[in-house]
Structure 1
């Protein structure tokens, strides 16, 4: 049986462990660090996983896409946005999803045909991914917790992540990727330090 002094010593020792590991102590009064998008990865349509951490420090636009949607021509706008801002540091990640009216029913070959052959997309495309509901990808669950009023309601919903890995702006499906509001937000994200 441990006496009171032993309990206090043990508690102080446990509280010191995070400092020994380079992390903040439990009693630290500083702000808690927030989880960022950099902890998430997506299975790629082809090739290695798409790890958002590989783009840390760069603005990233994550867009849920679909091949049979009225907004599918936005692939062309996303590609144009990518061409305009990629050299400055913007990353775009397309996330094909069948969550809205089954508008991404095909597999890898059909997604590849739409994104790459029809629209000439050169930015990374993930494998088909759930973006809502119980099976939503962890990135989309995180984004919903961060911005509960700004969750995807349809295909081509756009999350713009700042250099800090947090959601900087959200653009619904109807906002074209080349809209002045999108370009202004991307410019602002690129200018941030």
Structure 2
């Protein structure tokens, strides 16, 4: 059975990272953007990351430019923005596609496991969130409007 830990993605610093390094941890996987109305959610994601820093939990950010061109920068620019504007310390990855024929394999799997509104696999906008349990199974999908602090009880229940 495939789990979230079976995927690899390019980190924002350019190195390939196997999600297996977080095996046994719950994950919150989020497609992000720097110039979106939901961009202030970085603050909430960082807060959630810090709240559970001493527990088996990790937030993973995946920048995407497929929604209104709201993530136009290169990896170094994205990393600098996240660090300076929101003091992001959780792992960030290089830009990926979350929809279409070039959808990253992780997002292909996530959207097969938890479909969105009306059963669609498409990601509708930036800051769609997937919660993964400590066995690597997708347990929930949250719309962009759901604030990170609203996820605290769900995260705590997985730990």
Which TM-score band applies after superposition, normalised by the shorter structure?
over 0.9
The one of 134, 152, 155 aligned to 1:186 = 155
Higher strand share: 2
Higher Cα Rg, which structure:
1
User: Shift in Å at residue 146 of structure 1?
Assistant: 1.3
Residue 96 of structure 1 contacts residue 126 of structure 1 at CA under 8 Å; is this kept in 2? yes
1:136 corresponding residue in structure 2: 103
Distance 1:168 1:146 in 2: 9
Once the two structures are superposed, what CA deviation does each residue of 1:3-60 show, in whole Å capped at 9, x if it has no partner? xxxxxxxxxxxxxxxxxxxxxxxxxxxxxxx211111011011153232111011101
1:167 correspondence with 2:134: no
How much is the aligned-residue C-alpha RMSD, in angstroms?
A: 1.2
User: Shift in Å at residue 69 of structure 1?
Assistant: 0.1
User: Shift in Å at residue 139 of structure 1?
Assistant: 0.4
1:82 corresponding residue in structure 2: 49
In structure 1, the gaps of 5 or more residues are 1-33
Query: TM-score normalised to the size of structure 1?
Result: 0.77
By relative contact order (CA 8 Å, sep 6+), the higher-ranking structure is 2
1:10 corresponding residue in structure 2: none
Distance 2:82 2:76 in 1: 10
- Deviating runs (4+, > 6 A) in structure 1? none
Query: TM-score normalised to the size of structure 2?
Result: 0.93
1:96 corresponding residue in structure 2: 63
User: Shift in Å at residue 147 of structure 1?
Assistant: 1.8
Tell me how many residue pairs correspond in the alignment: 155
